[in-house]
């Protein structure tokens, strides 16, 4: 299974600013995904990061708020833009192919 590294692991940010989260996979993977997890809650899919094309967003998530890049088969970034306290959450990336997807350890974001 792919091993996924995410950074930063946590950050405290001022409202109105943006944070870019990086996700690095130790092998080439076809698909990468970004999820959000409120502390103590379940995971919700934000978007599918497509290599070489625009990300595909789930209902309730938009590109202006969560721009995503996928420059190659081992790397992706998620930016949380113009942050508000409601964006405080854990953001996780996932990667793999076929069945069996692994997750990074997540980025715990607090917006003050």
Partner 1 sequence: QQQVKQSPQSLIVQKGGISIINCAYENTAFDYFPWYQQFPGKGPALLIAIRPDVSEKKEGRFTISFNKSAKQFSLHIMDSQPGDSATYFCAASGYAGGTSYGKLTFGQGTILTVHP
Q: Which is nearer to partner 1, 34 or 80 (CB)?
A: 34
What are the backbone dihedrals phi and psi of residue 110, each rounded to the nearest 5 degrees, phi first? -120, 125
Alpha carbons 75 and 65: distance in angstroms, whole number: 20
CB of 101 to partner 1, least distance (A): 5
Q: Which is nearer to partner 1, 75 or 101 (CB)?
A: 101
CB of 107 to partner 1, least distance (A): 10
Q: Which is nearer to partner 1, 17 or 30 (CB)?
A: 30
Alpha carbons 51 and 86: distance in angstroms, whole number: 29
> Interface with partner 1 by CB under 8 A: which residues?
1, 4, 6, 30-31, 33, 41-45, 48, 56, 92, 94-106
Selection from 71, 104, 102, 84 nearest residue 5 by Cα:
104
């Amino acid at each position: 299974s792919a091993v996924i590294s995410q950074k930063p692991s946590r950050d405290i940010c001022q409202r109105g600013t943006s944070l870019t989260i990086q996700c690095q996979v130790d092998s080439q993977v076809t698909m990468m995904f970004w999820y959000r997890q409120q502390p103590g809650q379940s995971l919700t899919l934000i978007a599918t990061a497509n290599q070489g094309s625009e990300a595909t967003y789930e209902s309730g998530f938009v590109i202006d708020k969560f721009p995503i890049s996928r420059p190659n088969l081992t790397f992706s970034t998620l930016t949380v833009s113009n942050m508000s306290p409601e964006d405080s959450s854990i953001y996780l990336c996932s990667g793999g192919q076929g069945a069996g997807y692994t997750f990074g350890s997540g980025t715990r974001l607090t917006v003050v």
